[in-house]
């Protein structure tokens, strides 16, 4: 993460993927501000990382679904001295069929996975764009490519993360700002809670392997990282097909022949 030894804000640092980002970034010499709702978890991690790596690790308890808390974290991004990175790892699944999913959980999902990630990325984009350096990492999911039953809002939110982050990358790369979307498959964290995970055990990666892989991809300049994708040509083929579809729907502004009357 560039600049080296700068400060990094990590959301969702109280468990799973965010907590491992905190560990690995501290190991790389970054000072940290850790954000989540569970303050005791953050404080325990900060104490551990502070003594293990001698990094300065601060914690901020914030509910990113809450507008006041989100505004405070935005302000933190604007004013923290020597800030070089923001990792948006906070997120939730709100999995379940449309007929039974808890509407409040879906509301939180949209606030955290979409709104908070957007506002914190834009706050970082304003600052890093003006400074000409900085790194933004947004955690998506392979579910972005899978509009499946039982994960409508989650899949939609991660498709948003992918498109939003790629657009930000296109805007900010010329200004020297690094923007990366990380698209994990299943990762063994607290994400699925007590519910059985809808994937076979063999598909799960540890959060340590996931973060180490994603950071390697970041070092290699990958703007979109699918940590489990062996053949990058598969993504290029997908991108090629997407480009062809875009071209096909941008031909004339007229309805397609099959929709013409009579």
Ligand X SMILES: NC(=O)c1ccc[n+]([C@@H]2O[C@H](COP(=O)([O-])OP(=O)(O)OC[C@H]3O[C@@H](n4cnc5c(N)ncnc54)[C@H](OP(=O)(O)O)[C@@H]3O)[C@@H](O)[C@H]2O)c1
As annotated, the active-site residues are 154
Q: Return the number of the residue (95 or 177) whose C-beta is nearest ligand X.
A: 95
Q: Is 141 in the site for ligand X (CB under 6 A)?
A: yes
- Smallest separation (angstroms) from ligand X to the CB of 66: 7
Q: Is 24 in the site for ligand X (CB under 6 A)?
A: no
- Smallest separation (angstroms) from ligand X to the CB of 11: 6
Q: Is 139 in the site for ligand X (CB under 6 A)?
A: yes
Q: Which residue has the tokens 């007929």?
A: 99
Number of residues that bind ligand X (CB under 6 A): 27
DSSP character at residue 175: G
The distance from CA 124 to its chain's CA centroid, rounded to whole angstroms, is 14
Across the strands, what pairs with 216? none
Q: Return the number of the residue (10 or 178) whose C-beta is nearest ligand X.
A: 10
Residue length of the chain: 262
Q: Return the number of the residue (43 or 131) whose C-beta is nearest ligand X.
A: 43
248's enclosing H/E stretch is: helix 232-249
Q: Which two tokens stand for residue 130?
A: 């003006």
Task: Specify the stretch interacting with ligand X by CB under 6 A; choose among 88-96, 121-129, 219-227, 243-251.
Answer: 88-96
Give the DSSP letter string of 107-156: HHHIIIIIIIHHHHHHHHHHHHHHHT--EEEEE--GGGG---TT-HHHHH
Residue 18, CB half-sphere, CA atoms under 13 Å: how many?
Answer: 30
Task: Specify the stretch interacting with ligand X by CB under 6 A; choose among 45-53, 94-102, 123-131, 179-187.
Answer: 179-187
Q: Return the number of the residue (90 or 179) whose C-beta is nearest ligand X.
A: 90
User: Using CB under 6 A as the criterion, which residues of the chain lie in contact with ligand X when the complex forms?
Assistant: 12-18, 36-38, 63-65, 89-92, 108, 112, 139, 141, 184, 186-187, 189-191
């Amino acid at each position: 993460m560039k600049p080296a030894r700068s400060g990094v804000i990590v959301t969702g640092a109280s468990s799973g993927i965010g907590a491992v980002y905190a560990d690995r970034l501290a190991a790389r010499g970054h000072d940290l501000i850790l954000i989540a709702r569970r303050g005791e978890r953050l404080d325990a991690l900060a104490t551990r990382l502070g003594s293990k790596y001698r990094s300065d690790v601060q914690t901020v308890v914030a509910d990113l679904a809450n507008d006041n808390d989100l505004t405070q974290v935005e302000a933190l991004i604007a004013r923290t001295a020597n800030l070089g990175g923001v990792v948006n790892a906070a997120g939730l699944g709100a999995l379940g069929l449309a007929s039974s999913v808890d509407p409040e959980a879906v509301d939180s999902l949209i606030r955290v996975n979409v709104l908070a990630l957007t506002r914190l990325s834009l706050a970082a984009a304003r600052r890093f764009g003006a400074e000409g350096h900085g790194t933004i990492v947004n955690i998506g999911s392979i579910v972005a490519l899978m509009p499946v039953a039982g994960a409508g809002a989650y899949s939609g939110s991660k498709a948003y993360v992918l498109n939003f982050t790629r657009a930000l990358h296109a805007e900010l790369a010329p200004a020297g700002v690094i923007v990366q979307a990380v698209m994990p498959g299943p990762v063994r964290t607290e994400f699925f809670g007590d519910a059985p995970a809808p994937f076979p055990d063999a598909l799960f990666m540890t959060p340590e392997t996931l973060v180490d892989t994603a950071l390697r991809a970041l070092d290699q300049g990958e703007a979109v990282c699918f940590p489990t994708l062996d053949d990058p040509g598969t993504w290029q083929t997908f991108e090629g097909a997407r480009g062809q579809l875009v071209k096909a729907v941008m031909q004339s502004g007229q309805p397609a022949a099959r929709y013409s009357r009579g």
